[in-house]
Amino acid sequence: MSDVDVPEDHPRYESLLTRHRIEEGVEKGITSKQGLIAEGRGEAFDYLLGEETTESADAAARAAAAHLLLARHPVLSVNGNVAALVPGEMVELSEAVGADLEVNLFNRTEERMEAIAAHLREHGASDVKGLAADASIPGLSHERAKVDADGIYDADVVLVPLEDGDRAAALAEMGKTEIVVDLNPMSRSARSAAVPIIDNILRAVPNVTRHARDLADASDEELRDVVESFDRTAALAAAERRIREGVGDR
């Protein structure tokens, strides 16, 4: 048994554990109540995708790693679900690619901002951005637009996991290269991303880190080859196909 009393031989062990982590996130003031709903939606898509990293999601993770390594200023955006599910893994990725971590919330309150920043520091982050909020993303309503001038506002490449469609589109509109992690290949955020990673954040973040370590000694030319050989439209189509084909078998 784990510390949350989920029997390890339960057929849905992983997803039950994930639910508990989100619940704990809500109790600690890290995750919003809407985060519970987002988790439910994600779980449904993960089930349809077979709860594994597909070949096209792996190719997307490698392209994401190459983009982050090539970037002038990469930033990893963290919301309440990401902080509850993969805090240490986000810190590791930020270190592997030399990226900033910035808390950026849909349901922003100062208490949650502080709680998430503290949680990331507990998991090894040395610097957490997002609290200054001295710049804003054009075309979005006030609270959701708040970013740091020397963080997301200045970034050329941004990783935005589990994002809502409006902000993902607004960041893309600012000319930033956007890497989105989302289990729904039909979501607007996945569709507006240069690199949509259609995978569970639990698997996707460590996988991007693994690819980044593997590519650490690659030349810029090799990294550009990885970026250019990734086909975002094909990746989205592959995920949709997988969902349609998988549904008939289960």
Annotated binding site for ATP: 19, 41, 182-184, 188-189, 200-201
Question: How would you classify the pairing of strands 146-147 and 135-136?
Answer: antiparallel
Least Å from the CB of residue 187 to ligand PTJ = 4
Using CB atoms, what's the residue nearest to ligand PTJ? 42
3-state secondary structure at position 146: strand
The region of 88-96, 100-108, 123-131, 232-240 touching ligand PTJ under the rule CB under 6 A is 100-108
Closest by Cα among 165, 163, 169, 156 to 227: 156
| CB distance 45 to 38 below 8 Å | no
Q: Indicate if the alpha-carbon torsion angle 22, 78, 164, 60 is positive or negative.
A: negative
Least Å from the CB of residue 188 to ligand PTJ = 9
Residue with structure tokens 């939606």?
Answer: 41
41 contacts ligand PTJ (rule: CB under 6 A)? yes
105 contacts ligand PTJ (rule: CB under 6 A)? yes
Least Å from the CB of residue 41 to ligand PTJ = 4
Least Å from the CB of residue 216 to ligand PTJ = 26
Question: How would you classify the pairing of strands 157-161 and 177-181?
Answer: parallel
Least Å from the CB of residue 211 to ligand PTJ = 17
184 contacts ligand PTJ (rule: CB under 6 A)? yes
39 contacts ligand PTJ (rule: CB under 6 A)? yes
Q: Residue 196: which residues within 8 A CB-CB, separation 6 or more?
A: 60, 180, 182, 185, 190, 232, 235, 236
34 contacts ligand PTJ (rule: CB under 6 A)? yes
Q: What span, in angstroms and rounded, lies between the C-alpha atoms of 216 and 233?
A: 27
**Which residues ranging from 142 to 181 are in contact with ligand PTJ (CB under 6 A)?**
162-164, 181
The region of 30-38, 92-100, 209-217, 218-226 touching ligand PTJ under the rule CB under 6 A is 30-38
Distances (CA, A) of 10 to 2, 5, 6, 48: 12, 11, 7, 19
Q: What tokens were used for 69?
A: 């390594």
Least Å from the CB of residue 168 to ligand PTJ = 9
103 contacts ligand PTJ (rule: CB under 6 A)? no
Binding pattern for the stretch 106-145 against ligand PTJ, x by CB under 6 A and - elsewhere? xx--------------------------------------
Q: What span, in angstroms and rounded, lies between the C-alpha atoms of 151 and 153?
A: 5
Give the count of residues interacting with ligand PTJ (CB under 6 A): 25
Under the rule (CB under 6 A), what is the footprint of ligand PTJ?
32, 34-35, 38-39, 41-42, 45, 79-81, 85, 105-107, 162-164, 181-184, 187, 200-201
